[in-house]
């Protein structure tokens, strides 16, 4: 059993003052008491964030794709992808685990307590299967366990090199040739998930261009109810052009006509949408996973959030390639992109509340949990695990902020210097900026040196 006390604890309807939280020996909340009198309270608790889209291995190349050619050729997602392939073709299982462990430690330090790992680096260096089909996925689960973060493993079906095209040699480590190959990978992944009590499984397809349409339909039909389904969609204009040429429809239009889109579906990026597609996604209550720091880094474009919100669209956040790792920063970038195009500062606010910060946190949390397969609408509740980012009350901006302004101070003006630490299942995983396992950094450095990429 553990007993925590906070000056403020953020719930879905606002901040609660002078709060006691008691957990059992498994970190499950057994009691939440507000307005407790006669004690000295410190710090503020925000629910731990969900990182709804991660490619862990790409953390190794953060900052390495910014030396651009002096030629007049365009540098965009497709040129960035060549650098990513070079990395993907050389990572060993041990290197994957050490890179992911470092990444997950950093996610925890920034306030994420659960990650959806969109995992497609499945095979050995030659593109052949490991004896354990889920070898690489198991390494990611081991990394999450060592760091202490919760993980939803999303083993990705990746079959083609493009619409109607065979896979490229550079994609050989990703490929499941047939539907049966992918289902075997799923089965192996389900066994790997059992190795860690805080691991779960989701289904996923890399993109419309990467899997045949019949297999997309087939997978959606066999997916068990309440299991999340993740897919990249409409991230690149070229992908949309190719989809129209090959299928006669844009990607989201095709999905809405052929798949029963519902709240279990998580459409990653969805950057380039028509009005009809915006309305289709919103009406289906499918979620869009936005990764603002990566989308900005790649020059993808700006998601039409303002229009999406008019139709009560649902969205969460992820860090994708991990050039940024702070959930509040993702929310800032998302908001500022909208302000720059709409010339309106009230991005998240609505008729009931103009509190942009609280509304943004609410959407990221509730829909982020859905991306993990969790349907929990209260931020903190009895019977649920106590997962929290703890904000220090010693920073001058936090000390002087009223509760009315605290959420917006965090979303628009915070950084990790304001964080006391991160708690998962009632246990401190990060405290005063430090993880208990100090060998994580050295293992990461060893992996990067052996890859000789930085």
DSSP 48: P
Q: Which residues are catalytic?
A: 269, 320
CA distance between the termini of the chain: 44
Give the contacts of 131 (CB within 8 A, at least 6 positions apart). none
Helix axes 251-258, 237-247, angle to 10 degrees: 50
Please state, in angstroms and rounded to a whole number, the distance separating the CA atoms of residues 228 and 441.
32
Task: Measure the CA dihedral 393/394/399/405, to 10°.
Answer: -50
Give the contacts of 393 (CB within 8 A, at least 6 positions apart). 7, 42, 43, 44, 399
Please state, in angstroms and rounded to a whole number, the distance separating the CA atoms of residues 287 and 278.
11
CA-wise closest residue to 201 among 146, 148, 140, 160: 140
CA-wise closest residue to 344 among 357, 356, 327: 356
């Amino acid at each position: 059993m553990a007993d925590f006390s906070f000056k403020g604890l953020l719930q879905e309807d606002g901040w609660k003052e002078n709060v006691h939280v008691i957990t059992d020996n498994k970190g499950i909340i057994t009691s939440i008491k507000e307005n407790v009198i006669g004690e000295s309270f410190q710090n503020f608790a925000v629910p731990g964030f969900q990182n709804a889209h991660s490619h862990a291995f790409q953390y190794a190349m953060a900052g390495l794709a910014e030396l651009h050619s002096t030629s007049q050729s365009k540098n965009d997602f497709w040129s960035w992808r060549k650098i990513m392939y070079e990395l993907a073709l050389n990572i060993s299982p041990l290197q994957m685990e050490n890179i992911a462990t470092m990444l997950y430690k950093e996610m925890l330090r920034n306030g994420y307590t659960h990650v959806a790992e969109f995992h497609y680096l499945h095979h050995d260096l030659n593109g052949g299967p490991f004896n354990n089909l889920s070898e690489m996925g198991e390494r990611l689960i081991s990394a999450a366990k060592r760091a202490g973060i919760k993980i939803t493993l999303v083993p990705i079906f990746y079959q083609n090199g493009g619409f109607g095209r065979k896979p490229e040699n550079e994609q050989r480590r990703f490929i499941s040739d047939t539907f049966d190959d992918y289902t075997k990978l799923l089965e192996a992944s389900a066994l790997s998930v059992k190795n860690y009590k805080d691991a779960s499984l989701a289904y996923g397809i890399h993109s419309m261009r990467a899997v045949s349409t019949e297999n997309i339909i087939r997978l959606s039909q066999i997916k068990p109810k309440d299991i999340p389904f993740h897919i990249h969609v409409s991230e690149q204009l070229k992908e949309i052009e190719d989809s129209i040429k090959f299928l006669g429809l844009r990607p989201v239009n095709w999905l809405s006509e052929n798949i029963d889109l519902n709240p279990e579906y998580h459409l990653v990026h969805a950057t380039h949408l028509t009005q009809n597609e915006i309305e289709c996604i919103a009406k289906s209550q499918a979620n869009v996973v936005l990764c603002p720091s990566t989308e900005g880094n790649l020059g993808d474009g700006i998601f039409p959030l303002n229009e999406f919100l008019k139709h009560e669209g649902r969205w969460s956040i992820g860090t994708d390639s991990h050039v940024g790792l702070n959930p509040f920063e993702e929310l800032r970038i998302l908001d500022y992109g909208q302000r720059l195009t709409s010339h309106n500062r009230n991005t998240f606010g609505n008729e009931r509340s103009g509190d942009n910060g609280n509304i943004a946190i609410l959407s990221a949390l509730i829909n982020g949990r859905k991306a993990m397969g969790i349907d929990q609408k209260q931020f903190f509740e009895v019977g649920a695990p106590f997962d929290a980012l703890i904000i220090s009350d010693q920073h001058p901006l936090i000390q002087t902020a009223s509760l009315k302004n605290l959420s917006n101070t965090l979303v628009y003006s915070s950084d990790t210097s304001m964080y006391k630490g991160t708690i998962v299942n009632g246990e401190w995983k990060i405290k005063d900026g430090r993880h208990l396992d100090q060998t994580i950094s050295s293992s990461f450095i060893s992996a990067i040196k052996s890859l000789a990429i930085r």
